Structure 1
Amino acid sequence: MPLGLLLLWFFALVTRFWGLTRFPTLVFDEVYFARFGRNYLAGVPFFDAHPPLGKYLIALSIWLGGGFHPWGYRWLNALMGSLIPVAVAVLAYLLTGRSRVALLSGLFVALDGLFLVESRYALINISLVLFGVVAQILWLWGLRYQGRGRSLWLMAAGMAFGACVAVKWSGLGFLLGVGLFWVLQQRLPLPAEGKTTYSWWQMCLLLPLVTFVVYTLLWWPHLQFHPHQRLLDLHQQMFHFHRSVASTAHPYCSPWWSWPLLLRPMSYFFQRVQTLSEAVPVIGPPLPMEATRWVYAVYALFNPPLLWLSTLATLALLVLQWHTTAGRFVLLNYAANLLPWALVSRCVFIYHYLPAALYSFMALALVWESSHTWVAWARWLRLAIVGGVIAGFVYWLPLYLGLPLTPEAFFRRMWLRSWI
């Protein structure tokens, strides 16, 4: 298991750091988040619709990375993104005690396209996911202790939950997931640890209190740059901003139910050139398609075979393993991170599916591991699943890394009309 985790981390590091500075321009929401990070360093006030922790981390990345340039504002997010497959593997191991399920869960995350793309730019969804998974690891780990030790681990989990919500409010999905699991399970059998659970006061008082206090304290540096603003007023402004965003405010808006089907990915960067020697980005009007010889594109696209198989596996898990600890935990956290989006009327995007998607990847690993008991040819099915996921990662890799493609090769990768 330790060697497997090390190899998994090495693979994630290479894919996330290779060619990290390829596009010397602000890509997608870097135009906001990277600049907000620089504003903290320069002491420039600004308004942002999200809590501040994600931008603190980008500011730290710029400061430690030597300035406001692509490496400076991207490297820390790439490092955090490389840790997510390892964290997911640890979470899966705590749930199941099975190394194969754990490493396969982490491998699926490492082979996913949207997790890779989000890790390679100065965006904030990766820090949200990392803090959320770490919080759940600490929550599960605390169940191995009794008395004061258990409360200390629960407080550590609360600190991580507070950090998660301080990146985006949608981080509450990770907290909701463990809350639902605690309510419905009540007795959590961990491998080799027997049945144990948190008390009502720990879950209903201590954990929410620590989460709230940490979330509130993380606003303090932001308020130092905005002494004329009050925390309550800022939250009202943020809430009204999100309510005011129309459901069709952006061409890449996609309803929540479409995310598991991968109906509407997003283009983060697109550039047409005539030769590979041209500097990118090109200054001036877009090159006509008939004169285009090469295309540079970065797509917020999950690994299609992985996502579609994971969606099917999540449905299968509901039937096959709802009665198990791991199955119930995965399904409840998947629901907690997806279904609340049905209540949101504003424009939402496929990257909002990242937290739920990682639980669907864990569902695929659980179903994959249990499939050997189904039929005699299940071994070949298991090989086909892993092979299809790897093939999908390799085939769409140019769209994750922004590698040059001919227009014909680009459109061959647009399997659905809605992807364009």
Structure 2
Amino acid sequence: MLKYQISRSKLQQQSIPWFPIGIWLIFLASLGLRFWGLGRFNVLVFDEVYYAKFANEFLQGKYVFYSHPPLGHYFVALGIWLAKHFAIGNDIVNNLTGSNISTFSYRWMNALFGSFIPLLVIGIAYQLTKRRSFALIAGFLMAADGLFLVESRYALNNMYMLVFGFLGHFVVLLALNRQSWQRWLWLLLAGISFGASIGTKWNGLYFLIGIYLLWAIACLTHLFIQKSPNSSTSEDISNSASFSTPLPRLSQLSLPDLSFFLGVVPAVVYTLLWIPYLNLEHQPHFFSNFAQEQEQILDYHNSIKDGPKVHPYCSKWFTWPLMLRPIAYFYATARNTTETVPITPPLPAGVGKVIYDVHAMGNPFLYVLSCAAVIVLVVYLGKNLIQWVKGDPNTGVIYNASTWVLVYILLNYAVNLLPWVRVTRCTFLYHYMPSSVFAFLALAWVIDGWLHSWKTHLRGTGITLIFLVLFGLIYWMPIYLGLPLSNTEYSVRMVRIDTRQLPTWVKEFFPNWI
């Protein structure tokens, strides 16, 4: 009996490892949602008509012009090749790509990459603050977004750009916590990651620009501190709040170091990634062909116009934070849930009793709340900066570690969003995905602060927001995964913020399907 009590006492004294348990739960949930029914809909969904076809043609050694750098196509092609050689997921097959391959084969690699996005967000949040609660909340919010879930389940290329872009940020933060050769090794890996992000889509460059701007701010702050009568070190600043952040240590990187690791290395990686693709042309003079490809891509995007005549789901940048224009990726009807979808030819209007719909849309609660959180952080940071300017310049906001976290979130949010202001071509909601992650970090920051508050109503509000986001994920899950819905179940989920019905949009895009 005494032995039992001692053992029980020891068990009670041992803390439960909630942090790794939480990470595993988020990852497994992300993995399961992305792979569950991945082969569903034996067609090419949305831009799979490009990426899946391009990947299959690359495997066949055919040269086809791509409108983006080729890394995303390499990964889709690798998924097809592995699925063929290991006979994975061959139950649903079509020849829409030019070969008899399974839907699973050209989708599973994207699903795998997408499953790691929440983990990267957890890593970034933790490296920023060393606060486990903030990191887990950020990872949960990331896993609860519908747009990332939808984009992960089809053969598209946004996931690869995002994974490598956020991996670059994560590795830079790791490098700032290292010294000597270890720091250079991590920075080298960061440069490779940024090069891979840009090698998927050009807007992956914004991830790198965000780091450069943070470095400039850190250097200016360090210069100001050195000239102040009561100077402090960057280490003092990073540890001046209830937590620490490595961001001020960016000033320890010299311009030559930054230029090499986060300039030369990404450029070299980006260039090397073109070699397999350009070798398909079997022409000499690699660099002239390389330059020609860049010019063709630029000309292609400049030639795209804007407006509903170009594409019914074009949307302006200022509509993205509130998700005013989601994108219909798939829509079909059936008489019952036992019929194979899509039905060919499509059923006449009014015959189908079951609706299968996939919309590339975020979690509505998450989008509205994260947009509000960004505004709150802007107001809070602006207020603190004004107080610092008016007060003693040797004390205040620039010495606060929380200020650096807010600057990181808001700066990267703006860097990934504002360049789209001047873009005149047709753009889509998925272009907001990089910025949305920083908006989720903003919301996680607010919720985490409330959960640690001594005020009961703030803690209750934080918990309520978490459950509201979870409810949004569950409620709109059929729209993300393409699960069967009745007409009533579909209609109540697709009411827009301005009370108009999304089925009207679907009719624009699929006029022969309804």
Deviations 1:322-358 (A, max 9, x none): 7512111111111111111111110000001111101
1:209 alignment partner in structure 2: 264
- Letter of the 2:378 partner, please give it: L
Alignment partner of 1:282 out of 343, 365, 382: 343
Structure-1 separation of matches of 2:55 and 2:453 = 52
Report if the CA contact (8 A) 2:130-2:245 is conserved: no
Report if the CA contact (8 A) 2:327-2:360 is conserved: yes
Q: Secondary structure, in 3 states, of the residue corresponding to 1:22?
A: coil
1:253 alignment partner in structure 2: 314
Structure-2 separation of matches of 1:330 and 1:384 = 23
Say yes or no: does 1:116 pair with 2:175.
Answer: no
Report if the CA contact (8 A) 1:162-1:215 is conserved: yes
**Bigger mean CA offset, 9-18 vs 405-414:** 405-414
1:304 alignment partner in structure 2: 364
Q: Secondary structure, in 3 states, of the residue corresponding to 1:299?
A: strand
Report if the CA contact (8 A) 1:38-1:68 is conserved: no
Query: What is the Cα deviation at residue 277 of structure 1?
Result: 2.1
Structure-1 separation of matches of 2:484 and 2:411 = 41
2:181 alignment partner in structure 1: 148
Q: What pairs up with 1:209-248 in 2 under 5 angstroms?
A: 209-228=264-283, 230-248=289-307
Pairs aligned (count):
419
2:422 alignment partner in structure 1: 343
Deviations 1:389-420 (A, max 9, x none): 01110110000000011122112112212743
Cα 1:193–1:243 shift into 2, 3 Å: closer
Report if the CA contact (8 A) 2:414-2:435 is conserved: yes
Structure-2 separation of matches of 1:145 and 1:386 = 34
Report if the CA contact (8 A) 1:142-1:150 is conserved: yes
Structure-1 separation of matches of 2:445 and 2:380 = 10
2:206 alignment partner in structure 1: 173
Report if the CA contact (8 A) 1:264-1:418 is conserved: no
Alignment partner of 2:51 out of 28, 33, 57: 33
Deviations 1:71-97 (A, max 9, x none): 111111111111110111001000011
1:196 alignment partner in structure 2: 249
Query: What is the Cα deviation at residue 375 of structure 1?
Result: 4.6
Alignment partner of 2:446 out of 361, 367, 372: 367
Cα 1:258–1:95 shift into 2, 3 Å: same
Q: Secondary structure, in 3 states, of the residue corresponding to 2:66?
A: coil
Say yes or no: does 1:413 pair with 2:493.
Answer: yes
Q: What pairs up with 1:45-56 in 2 under 5 angstroms?
A: 45-56=63-74
Deviations 1:282-322 (A, max 9, x none): 1114530x222111000001000001100000111122357
Structure-2 separation of matches of 1:78 and 1:374 = 41
Report if the CA contact (8 A) 1:292-1:407 is conserved: no
Query: What is the Cα deviation at residue 154 of structure 1?
Result: 1.2
2:229 alignment partner in structure 1: none
Query: What is the Cα deviation at residue 281 of structure 1?
Result: 1.2
Report if the CA contact (8 A) 2:145-2:366 is conserved: yes
Report if the CA contact (8 A) 1:263-1:418 is conserved: no
Please, what TM-score do these two structures have when normalized by structure 2?
0.79
Report if the CA contact (8 A) 1:85-1:110 is conserved: yes
1:183 alignment partner in structure 2: 216
Structure-2 separation of matches of 1:193 and 1:122 = 37
Unaligned runs of 5+ in 2: 1-18, 85-99, 223-233, 383-396, 398-402, 506-514
Query: What is the Cα deviation at residue 278 of structure 1?
Result: 1.8
Deviations 1:55-86 (A, max 9, x none): 00000000111272111111111111111101
1:318 alignment partner in structure 2: 378
Say yes or no: does 1:390 pair with 2:470.
Answer: yes
Q: Secondary structure, in 3 states, of the residue corresponding to 1:28?
A: coil
Structure-1 separation of matches of 2:39 and 2:144 = 21
Report if the CA contact (8 A) 1:252-1:264 is conserved: yes
Structure-1 separation of matches of 2:454 and 2:72 = 45
Report if the CA contact (8 A) 1:254-1:264 is conserved: yes
Structure-2 separation of matches of 1:321 and 1:98 = 20
Q: Secondary structure, in 3 states, of the residue corresponding to 1:71?
A: coil
2:437 alignment partner in structure 1: 358
2:334 alignment partner in structure 1: 273
Deviations 1:174-218 (A, max 9, x none): 111111111113356375577522222222343111010000000
1:94 alignment partner in structure 2: 127
2:8 alignment partner in structure 1: none
Rg comparison, structure with higher value: 2
Deviations 1:246-302 (A, max 9, x none): 1121000000110001100000000012222222111114530x2221110000010
Unaligned runs of 5+ in 1: none
- Letter of the 1:51 partner, please give it: P
Report if the CA contact (8 A) 1:272-1:287 is conserved: no
Report if the CA contact (8 A) 1:78-1:120 is conserved: yes
Structure ranking higher on relative contact order (CA contacts 8 Å, 6+ apart): 1
RMSD: 1.7
Please, what TM-score do these two structures have when normalized by structure 1?
0.96
**Segments ≥4 residues shifted beyond 4 Å:** 190-195
Report if the CA contact (8 A) 2:129-2:245 is conserved: no
Deviations 1:97-145 (A, max 9, x none): 1001101111111111000001111111111111011011111111122
